Structure 1
Amino acid sequence: MDLQARADRLAHLIEERLDIRGTGLSAKLGRGGRRLPRAVRDAGEQLLLAQRMAATPKLARQIDYDRIAAACDVAERMLGRIDPWERRTTFAVNWLAGNAFNLIVVAALALAVIVWRGLM
């Protein structure tokens, strides 16, 4: 598999699994930030560097395709294990739990103020 096909596959997996939008792998890596696992970021950076090196004939001979293929395989396996629906539901449940906790704290503080002022 050539470098561009690997980059396209990795970019597609990042968009599909993590909902990170952008045009091309470099944009998705830039927008992903800390949401991307370290192995995925490293593999993406290695792949982008190899693509830049491949544009120059003298540097193209220095590309270690086996190392890049291994890094991309690890990144694809990591992205393959991520379930997008589970991510979304976990986010929603955590958001609801945080808001419920905040409402409980506000209600307890309001009740404490009412009791403190002797209105109840």
Structure 2
Amino acid sequence: MIDRQEFNTRAEALRPLFEDRLRIKTRDLRQAFHRAGRELPRGIRGDGALLGKTEHLVANPHIARQLEDAPVWAAFDRVTTHLREIDGKARRRGKILDRLAGIAFNILVVFVGFVIWLWWRGYV
């Protein structure tokens, strides 16, 4: 049996981690994991699907009594551990460097194309 209060307190504890580490602000877990998408590994996304489904089911007390609590708490622990390991500054720095590398590559391709065009036309 899953205690509704404990589930909600753990879900509320995940919300600041999503905001700080992934810059995702949501009302519920299902939406948070949906917005995180491919930024999370496959196993964590699976745990997120379980937590989102459980969040919906735990609202009904009769169904909450029928749910196993061990997999849900283990999923919470895995998700919390993973979110705490994410470095937000390094993620932002990586995104900026990826964009700059893409821009530099495009400039290089245009420059090489221009030099080839000059050679083809006989100017070089």
TM-score range, shorter chain: 0.7 to 0.9
Instruction: Determine if the alignment matches structure 1 residue 81 to structure 2 residue 88.
Output: no
User: Could you tell me the TM-score, scaled by structure 2's length?
Assistant: 0.84
- Which residue pairs with 2:56 in the alignment? 52
Cα pair 2:57 2:64 within 8 Å, conserved? yes
1:15 aligns with 2:54: no
Q: The residue matched to 2:54 in structure 1 has which SS? A: helix
Aligned position for 1:28: 32
Measured in 2, the distance between the counterparts of 1:54 and 1:99 equals 48
**Identity level (%):** 35
Q: Displacement of 1:66 after TM fit?
A: 2.0
Which structure 1 residue ranges, 5 or more long, are not aligned?
none
CA distance in 1, matches of 2:16, 2:49: 16
Rounded to whole Å, the distance in 1 between the matches of 2:41 and 2:15 is 14
Name the TM-score, length of structure 1 as normaliser. 0.86
Q: Distance in 2 between matches of 1:96 and 1:119?
A: 31
Letter in 2 for 1:32: A
Which region of structure 1 is more displaced relative to structure 2, 103-112 or 43-52?
A: 43-52
Number of matched pairs: 120
- Over the aligned positions, Cα root-mean-square deviation in angstroms equals 1.8
Alignment counterpart, residue 108 of structure 1, candidates 98, 109, 112: 112
Q: Secondary structure at the match of 1:22?
A: coil
SS of equivalent to 2:90: helix
Q: Mark the runs of 5 or more structure 2 residues left unpaired by the alignment.
A: none
Structure possessing the higher relative contact order (Cα contacts under 8 Å, 6 or more residues apart):
2
